[in-house]
Structure 1
Amino acid sequence: MHLLYADESGSAADPNQIHFVLAGISFFERQTFWISNELDRIAERFNPAEINAIELHGSPMMGGRNMWKPFPKQDRIQAIKDALSVLANSHLSNRIFACVINKAKVSPHDPVEMAFEQLASRFDHYLGRLHKNNDTQRGIIIFDKSTYETTIQGLATNFRTLGHTWGVLRNLSEVPLFLDSRASRLIQLADLVAYAIFRFYERHDDQFYSIIADRFDQEGGIRHGLCERL
């Protein structure tokens, strides 16, 4: 089983932001425990007595908001980099899938719908490639609870029955699941990945993106894991 943990960065409704990003990280099920433990070690630096009270969340960490306010900026930025490095240094089967959308360029289409269609179909295509290589796996997409839950659930059901632009989803075992990010380090890591990609496109800041840039799904020199609608 491959688990795609996904989250967004940027607001689909904010006119002051150019881009919307939906990103996910695919983990083979036996990789998740190790990744979570490594992320716990990073959180432990900030509250050793209660590490579960520390949520690794890109925008608050960068801006020093909420629980991150007491900590020096350089420590917060280093924690983001270290968390992304956990992914960068992990097993090669752990892959990023993401869609970056210039909202004005796709208007009046809904960027959330467009991004999810790309994310789901590319993950499904990856699982299909594994099957062709005699490694048959099913997949589940796991999202942070968000205002897009109803939209995404409906889309996923339609994709499995009526189809999407390129066919139907054949390799997903269930409609997307939704978790509270506070309970999942892997959702938190997906948030950091989405944030790194958003800052790269929105702010031309590659300090985080450069750490994970080679972890997008690719095969034969073709990068399947990144969709750009710019």
Structure 2
Amino acid sequence: MYLLYADESGSSGGSDQEHFVLAGVTVFEREAHWLSLKLDKIAAQFDSQAPHSVELHGSPMLTGKKFWRNVPKNKRIDAIKDALRLIDGQHQRIIASVVRKAAISPEDPVSVTFQQLITRFDHYLARQYKYYGDPQRGLVIFDKSPKEAPIQALATEFKFDGHEWGTLRNMADVPVFVDSRATRLIQLADLVAYAIFRKYEENDSQFYEIIERKFDFFNGVQHGLHVDV
């Protein structure tokens, strides 16, 4: 099974931020444990006695909030970059959707980005079978969020009633929502979403340039990034 660990960045409502991002990293089930251990090593730099108490989240790390307040900025930035470098563009792929809310109004940013995310993941799985004979199902794993109910409703609708481009064919079940404190890979998805958000919202590409070649691609065509800005 392929797992897509996903998270959002930016506000889906309000006018204080122009953009909203939903992004995820595909991980084959047997790779998840080993990738998590590598992220643990990054966290252990900041608390070797209790590394699991250190959460890797983009915004507080960059701005120095809460736990990160007393950590030098250069070390915080290096940790974000080190985590993003762990994503292997061959074995893990990034799938993401970024929208400028005014550009898609009155449509809901969550609905638009989720449809892009899950259908691109579904197409990725179909391609794995068609070209590589790998008949894996997929499961999307999100950070816990008030958006859980509407996202699960959308996933069910896309599977049984269809979406704009067809129906979902390769999902094992509706998305699962977990506490980010329990899994490093949700934290990694947060860092990916934040890297994309910083590029489009703040014109800051220092993190994005690390991941820009790690989006899902096939035959030289990038399939893993939807941009509507």
Q: Deviations over 1:17-64 (max 9, x none)?
A: 110000000011111111101100000011111111100000000110
Task: Identify unmatched segments of 5+ residues in structure 1.
Answer: none
Q: Can you give the 5+ residue segments of structure 2 that lack an aligned partner in the other structure?
A: none
Equivalent residue, structure 1, for 2:164: 165
2:188 paired residue number: 189
Residues 1:12 and 1:91: Cα distance change in structure 2 (over 3 Å): closer
The correspondence of residues 19-168 of structure 1 with structure 2, limited to 5 A, is 19-87=19-87, 90=88, 92-133=90-131, 134-168=133-167
Other structure's SS at 1:6 match? strand
The one-letter amino acid of 2:167's match is: V
Q: Distance in 1 between matches of 2:90 and 2:110?
A: 28
Alpha carbons 2:95, 2:117 under 8 Å: kept: yes
Counterpart CA distance in 2 for 1:218 and 1:211 is 16
Counterpart residue type for residue 151 of structure 1: P
The amino acid of 2:95's aligned partner reads F
Q: Which residue of 1 aligns with 2:213?
A: 214
- Give the AA of the match of 1:105: A
Any conservation in 1 of the 2:5–2:141 contact (CA below 8 Å)? yes
**Alpha-carbon offset, residue 91 of structure 1:** 6.1
Cα pair distance change 1:37/1:168, threshold 3 Å = same
Amino acid at match of 1:190: A
Tell me the alpha carbon deviations over residues 50-91 of structure 1, each in whole angstroms, 9 at most, x when there is no partner. Answer: 11110000000011001111111111111001100111xx36
Structure 1 window deviating more from structure 2 (95-104 vs 26-35): it is 26-35
Letter in structure 1 aligned against 2:169: R
Distance 1:84 1:94 in 2: 11
Q: Is the 2:196–2:208 contact (alpha carbons within 8 Å) kept by the matching residues of 1?
A: yes
Does the Cα contact within 8 Å between 2:89 and 2:213 map onto a contact in 1?
no
Describe the SS at the equivalent of 1:97: strand
Equivalence for 2:15: 15
Secondary structure of 1:125's counterpart equals helix
Supply the AA of the counterpart residue of 1:50. Answer: A
What's the secondary structure of 1:26's corresponding residue? strand
Aligned-partner SS, 1:152: helix
TM-score by length of 1: 0.97
Which ranges of 4 or more aligned residues in structure 1 deviate by more than 2 Å? Answer: none
Q: Distance in 2 between matches of 1:91 and 1:222?
A: 14
TM-score under structure 2 length normalisation: 0.98
